Amino acid sequence: MHEDLRSPSYAIAALSALLFAVCALVPLLPASALLLNHRQPAVWQLLTSCFAHGSLESLLQGVFFTYIFGRVVERNHGSVATWAVYIACGMAAAALAWFMLPTKAALLSSAAPAAAWGLFLVGVGFPRLSRKPLEVACMAPFALTATTARYSALSTALVHDGTPVGQLVHLAGASLVAGVAAAVLAVVEQVQEEMERKRLEAKRQAEAARQNEAVERIVNMAGQAAQQLGKKLG
């Protein structure tokens, strides 16, 4: 229980649930003020939409994905990285949607599903793609389909060659940032591993030097004792 309370994944899930409850109970704080309003977007909505949900179904899915995949990122990279990945992926998704989707669209969107998708990519998708491709192949379609479904209302807001692609905009933004985050975290991990290897090597060499010094001291003491014994016998 105490570990959960310190977990950023738990904190993100709890904050999302709290905001949803507050918006439902307080008439003066409608969800439209926190979600990204594509007709009249506000800068703060880039952040608030990372934690706001438009429906209970979206909230439940977001809490589940955030907790499951967030704990993987947290275990591998720490609490700060979990917060950074979630917020960066969510804000990038909202920013790309703001830029690409038409402002005339009278729609509201949440960046939270895309942020959770970013946690999946950083925690599972990219790191395990080469080591456990079958695991990624099994999990990725489920996570992708579930996340894309949250943006189905935006599908016709952007059409490319006659194909509705509006539902992919948030995922594209989150995926780009997740790729950068995964690369940065991989470099940081390599640097930390190299530093730890050097630290252990220095510790091993220091221990070996102490052992050699102890052996030399014993050999010198034995030599001195042999000389003294030889003098007495002579």
User: What is the residue whose two structure tokens read 């080591």?
Assistant: 131
pTM of the model: 0.81
Residue 1 pLDDT more than 60?
no
Question: For the residues 171-186, what does the mean pLDDT come to?
Answer: 94
Question: For the residues 67-81, what does the mean pLDDT come to?
Answer: 92
What is residue 109's three-state secondary structure? strand
pLDDT tier for residue 197 given thresholds of 50, 70 and 90? confident
Between these two residues, 164 and 93, which has the higher pLDDT value?
93
C-alpha distances (whole Å) from 160 to each of 150, 163, 164, 165 are 20, 5, 6, 7
Residue 228 pLDDT more than 80?
no
Tokens representing 211 are 């052992």
Whole-number percent of the chain with pLDDT over 90 = 40
Q: Could you tell me the domains of the chain?
A: 2-192 (1.20.1540.10)
**pLDDT tens string 20-51:** 988 878 766 677 788 998 888 889 999 999 99
DSSP state of 29: S
